[in-house]
Structure 1
Amino acid sequence: MPEELRIVHRPEEVAQRLIPGHWEGDLIKGASNRSCVGTLVERKTRFVVLCKMDGCTAQDALEGFTRQMKKLPHFLLGSLTYDRGTEMTCYPELMKRLNIDLWLM
């Protein structure tokens, strides 16, 4: 993980939940990892978006998160904070597709 993407480098307005448009993402895995649902929680408002995934791979997470986040108004696409799970290994492509900052825990 690049040092500059570590969560400790998030701007204060993101860390302190001062403005909307900054999200936390995670993956909920079903039995035997055969199904997954992505979750996006907007940090200030706690608004939740569920992301249907076709599977549990990094490519599935990339496609699912991209599909749902592109439906959001542009002003609500500031950044995404995520853990360092293997499902997020495609994070550079997600940053590129959505033109957002990404922070890793």
Structure 2
Amino acid sequence: MLRLTQIIRNLYLRLEGWLGVVFKNILGVIRNVLGFFARLFGFTKAEYFLESDESTGINRNTVKEPKESEQNKTPETPTPNRRRPKGKMDDYYLNMARDVKKS
């Protein structure tokens, strides 16, 4: 009896996987066709169903980029920096190593 239930479970899993692959391909074709018509009629914009901002009285604030009035004429001299700044964790581990040496 256990062998029969195992065969039924395996058959179910194989059938489910096969149907998933078949319907995935069919749904992909349908999605591509509907996507083509959506792009054709302009339904891909997120605001196609909303009223325009002028008719609703909404004023959108646009971010203005700061204008560069004057460039810095002084050349920057490269300073040698460490790859990684010395952090508190480095001190913690150094102190722990010293404590281990003392013991």
TM-score, L = length of structure 1: 0.17
The answer to which structure has the higher strand fraction is: 1
TM-score, structure 2 length as denominator?
Answer: 0.17
Higher helix proportion: 2
Q: Max radius of gyration: which structure?
A: 2
Structure having greater relative contact order (Cα 8 Å, sep ≥ 6): 1
